[in-house]
């Protein structure tokens, strides 16, 4: 009985003391510039991270720099980090591909089916490890939302300069002012 009591105390303690990590792809080759279809992926995250209004986006600005952006709650501060794509052998624009990124105790590791646009895997935010699920979207509104998540809001990842034209989401006007190279 005493051993069970000690085990009951040790397991939660270890979960809060030991760092939570995900493994980087060691035997795969990085895909320089990202995947061919550059439409953004929108999804959800699992418990205990997710609450109402949580959101996950994996997107590019069209320059080859891909990022994961997670908003743990509707009013929560966003977390973002660079992600890269990895493949065994030469890159092909079809089939599964690995996505991975990790920075400052946050990370994402998963698989994207380039044909269906479905993505899923593991997400680490600080002390929490959970799952994510996302789907590629090719709607103009979705592209604008992906841009807005990084460039506007109370805590933008890359704030807009003060000289930037006023931004509106409905209907989105960002792509009428910018030439962004997002391809599918």
Confidence band (pLDDT; 50, 70, 90) for 13? very low
Domain residue limits at 26: 21-177
Asked if pLDDT for residue 10 goes beyond 50, the answer is no
**pLDDT value at residue 9:** 45
Q: Is residue 184 part of a domain?
A: no
Q: Is residue 2 part of a domain?
A: no
Stronger pLDDT, 170 or 112, i.e. the higher one: 112
Q: Which of 68, 71, 72, 94 is nearest to 81 (CA)?
A: 68
Q: Is residue 54 part of a domain?
A: yes
Q: Is residue 6 part of a domain?
A: no
Q: How many domains does the chain have?
A: 1
Q: Is residue 13 part of a domain?
A: no
Is the pTM here over 0.85, yes or no? no
Q: Is residue 14 part of a domain?
A: no
Q: Is residue 16 part of a domain?
A: no
Confidence band (pLDDT; 50, 70, 90) for 24? confident
């Amino acid at each position: 009985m005493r051993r069970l009591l000690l085990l009951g105390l040790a397991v939660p303690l270890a979960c809060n003391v030991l760092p939570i990590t995900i493994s980087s792809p060691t035997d795969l080759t990085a895909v320089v510039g990202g995947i061919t279809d550059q439409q953004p992926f929108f999804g959800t995250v699992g418990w205990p991270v997710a609450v109402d209004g949580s959101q996950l986006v994996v997107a590019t600005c069209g320059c080859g720099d891909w990022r994961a952006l997670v908003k743990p709650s509707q009013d929560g501060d966003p977390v973002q980090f660079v992600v890269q794509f990895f493949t065994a052998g030469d890159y092909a624009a079809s089939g599964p591909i690995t996505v991975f990124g990790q920075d400052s105790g946050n990370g994402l590791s998963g698989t994207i089916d380039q044909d269906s646009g479905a993505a899923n895997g593991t997400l680490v935010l600080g002390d929490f490890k959970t799952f994510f699920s996302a789907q590629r979207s090719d709607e103009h509104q979705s592209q604008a939302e992906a841009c807005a998540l990084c460039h506007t809001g109370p805590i933008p990842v890359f704030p807009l300069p003060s000289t930037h034209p006023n931004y509106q989401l409905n209907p989105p006007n960002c792509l009428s002012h910018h030439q962004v190279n997002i391809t599918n």
